[in-house]
Amino acid sequence: MIEVEWWEYDSVDELADAIAGDIGFIVESAVDARDASLIAVPGDETGRAMFHKVAQQKLPWKKVTMIPTDDRLVAVDSDLSNVREIARAFLPLGARVVPLTSEAADDYRLAGNAANARLQDLPWPPDLVWLGMGADGHTASIFAGADLQAALDAPKARRAIGVLPDPLPADAEVARVTLTRAAILSARTMLITITGQQKRELLEGAIADGHSSKLPIGRVLAEAEQPIDIHWCP
């Protein structure tokens, strides 16, 4: 069974302070070791709410490359774009922000191939993959649907893939590109942020079920070999 440590906080603000501190340590350690750092960050609302705290860290941002864990197949200036929010927070600091996609696409599988090719140019593995989780148990854009198994079973060399959730989420009825399970689990460090008792119970159940979980996040984490820190507040 995977090794998981839960960290509980009284508020989202306290949670954000802890995440910012963790990311600061991860980035500084990576820069000391390799003179560069690559981190993947989420686009969910909880993650975005913490960007300003992370951005306040006095870090060697010009040596940091950031990618989304996933994105919607929309233009980069769209309200639905995850990379837009990452760029707004971190480009002014000097960080390099690499999008998975930059436009709407008719063929999400080809868009996934393009995203994978783009990530092949980055030094791998990431120092950090920071995940969120939806109320339906998805993580990154690994949703239930016909493309779930492809995202889970992609070979280790495959870093990104196009997916079409089924059903499409009502708040963003578009196809996606996402890191594969192999890419997520290749990270030197993994952390998850969630809020609310319902999500905690959902995630605890998914972890307990492991490979037999009906939830995408359970299936992803069942293959994890490194410890995972889960940061949560009610």
Q: Residue 75 and residue 133: Cα distance in Å, rounded?
A: 24
Contact at 8 Å (CB) between 209 and 221?
no
Q: How many CB atoms lie within 10 A of CB 118?
A: 18
Does residue 1 have a pLDDT over 80? no
Q: 31 pLDDT exceeds 90?
A: yes
Per-residue pLDDT, averaged over 144-165, amounts to 96
Which is nearest to 97 in space by CA: 79, 118, 83?
83
What span, in angstroms and rounded, lies between the C-alpha atoms of 48 and 33? Answer: 28
pLDDT at position 103, please? Answer: 84
Alpha helices, DSSP H, located in 97-147: 108-120
Predicted local distance difference test score (pLDDT) of residue 14: 96
13 and 101 Cβ atoms separated by less than 8 Å: no
* Percent of the chain clearing pLDDT 70 (strictly above): 100
Beta strands per DSSP E along 64-144: 64-68, 70-72, 96-97, 128-131
Selection from 185, 178, 154 nearest residue 164 by Cα:
178
Given a cut of 90, is residue 105 above it in pLDDT?
no
What pTM, to 2 d.p., does this model score? 0.96
Model confidence over 42-81: pLDDT tens digits? 988 888 889 999 999 999 999 999 999 999 999 989 999 9
* CA proximity to 112, closest of 77, 80, 139, 142: 142
